[in-house]
A = this chain, B = another copy of it.
Amino acid sequence: MLAMHSAAESKARRTNEANSKEETEAPFGLGVVLRLKPNETLFSEGDAAASFYQIKEGVIRSFRMMIDGRRQIISFSQPGDYLGLEWEGDRAMTAEAIIDTAVVSYPRRHLEGRATADVRVQNRMMAVLFGGLHNAQEHLVMLGRQTAMEKLGWFLVRLARSSRMNNGALALPMNRTDIADYLGLSMETVSRGFSLLTREGYIALPDAHQVCIRNFKRLDALARGEVPTAH
């Protein structure tokens, strides 16, 4: 639910990793580690929300589905991100692992009691919530007002900002359908878009699950809607 994707948030996350005992384990107490295989479900829409999670390793997709199967992915959560925070009531979405994933699970009430008492927990919680909101707002602009090519640029720029590079290449763990459902496009349009970006020299695709960004500046301009002739 509350993935951190913006530049500011991913900075916070890195800080957090640096002194992991201080920040990651302390504020919400001790949690239980869960391991998930690809496509395994962490929780489903409608479940009672008894826990929340922090990703240790891997990637999770969180989404909502319409009765006829149309799916909107709300976030891809990466190591350090929190998800599954609910105020009251049931889960509003489903969360599934994309690759082998490890999460730390905390009981929800574990947080409620501490949040009241500890200012640091409170601030941490606020930062996560505000980060989630900020994120969602950027997502809204993208979905509502960007063209297919701009959406792809936006996606890749975010990915670049939120993940570490692996000798010049970014991992693309999610498949084309996941990307499509995140960006409000069809799978085919995503595929065609990647091909075009490759042809135009924005990126290179060593294989389907790896991207090299060849011209970040131009890609960023595309993402911001500053490239009028983006086919």
Interface residue ranges, A against B (CB under 8 Å): 1-2, 64, 66-68, 70-72, 74, 85-87, 92-93, 115-116, 119, 122, 125-127, 129-134, 136-137, 139-141, 143-145, 181, 183-184, 224-226
Contacts and interface: CB of A to CB of B under 8 A. Distances in A.
A122 B115 contact: yes
Classify the interface of chain A: helix, strand, loop or mixed: helix
Contacts of A115: 122
Contacts of A71: 145
Contacts of A64: 137, 141
A39 B97 CA distance: 46
27 contacts: A1-B133, A2-B133, A66-B141, A66-B224, A68-B225, A70-B145, A70-B225, A71-B145, A72-B144, A74-B137, A74-B140, A87-B127, A92-B137, A116-B122, A122-B122, A125-B126, A126-B129, A129-B133, A132-B133, A133-B133, A136-B136, A136-B137, A136-B140, A140-B143, A143-B143, A144-B181, A144-B184
Given A115-B122, A116-B119, A133 B136 contact: yes
